[in-house]
C-alpha cells in the first residue's frame, strides 16, 4: 500500500509534537515539585530559627498527647452507656437496701 510522502511527514510531525508536549508536561511537573520542595524546606528552616529545640518540644508534646488520649479513653469508657446502666442498677440496688 502506497502512502504519500506528505501524509507520512504530517504523521511524523504530529508524533513529534505530541512527544515534545509530553516532555514539556513532565518537565513542568518536575519543576513544580522542585519548587514545592524548596518552599517546604524554607518553611522548615524558618521554624528551626524561631524554635531551635523543636525536636525536644515535639517529643514532649507527643507524651502529652498520649496522656491526653489515655484520659479521654478512660472517661469515655467510664461514661459509656453500658457502664452508666450498670452504675444506675448498682445505685438502685443500694437505694432499695437503705
pLDDT, tens only, 24-61? 999 999 999 999 999 999 988 888 888 766 555 555 65
pLDDT value, residue 50: 81
**Residue 78 resides in a domain:** yes
**Residue 1 resides in a domain:** no
Q: What are 64-96's pLDDT values in tens digits? A: 677 777 777 776 766 666 655 666 666 665 555
CA dist 24 and 15 (Å) reads 14
pLDDT value, residue 39: 92
- Of residues 71, 73, 95, the one with CA closest to residue 83: 73
CA dist 92 and 86 (Å) reads 10
Q: Over 80: is that where the pLDDT of 23 sits?
A: yes
Residue of higher predicted confidence among 8 and 95 = 8
**Residue 35 resides in a domain:** yes
Structural domain for 87, as ranges: 52-98
pLDDT value, residue 83: 57
DSSP-H helix ranges across 1-98 = 5-50, 54-78, 81-97
Size of the chain in residues: 98
- Same domain as 83, residue 59: yes
Amino acid at each position: 500500500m502506497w502512502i504519500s510522502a506528505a501524509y507520512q511527514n504530517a504523521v511524523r510531525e504530529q508524533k513529534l509534537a505530541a512527544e515534545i508536549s509530553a516532555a514539556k508536561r513532565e518537565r513542568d511537573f518536575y519543576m513544580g515539585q522542585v519548587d514545592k520542595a524548596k518552599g517546604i524546606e524554607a518553611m522548615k528552616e524558618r521554624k528551626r530559627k524561631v524554635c531551635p529545640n523543636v525536636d525536644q518540644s515535639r517529643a514532649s508534646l507527643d507524651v502529652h498527647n498520649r496522656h491526653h488520649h489515655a484520659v479521654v479513653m478512660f472517661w469515655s469508657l467510664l461514661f459509656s452507656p453500658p457502664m452508666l446502666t450498670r452504675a444506675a442498677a448498682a445505685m438502685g440496688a443500694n437505694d432499695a437496701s437503705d
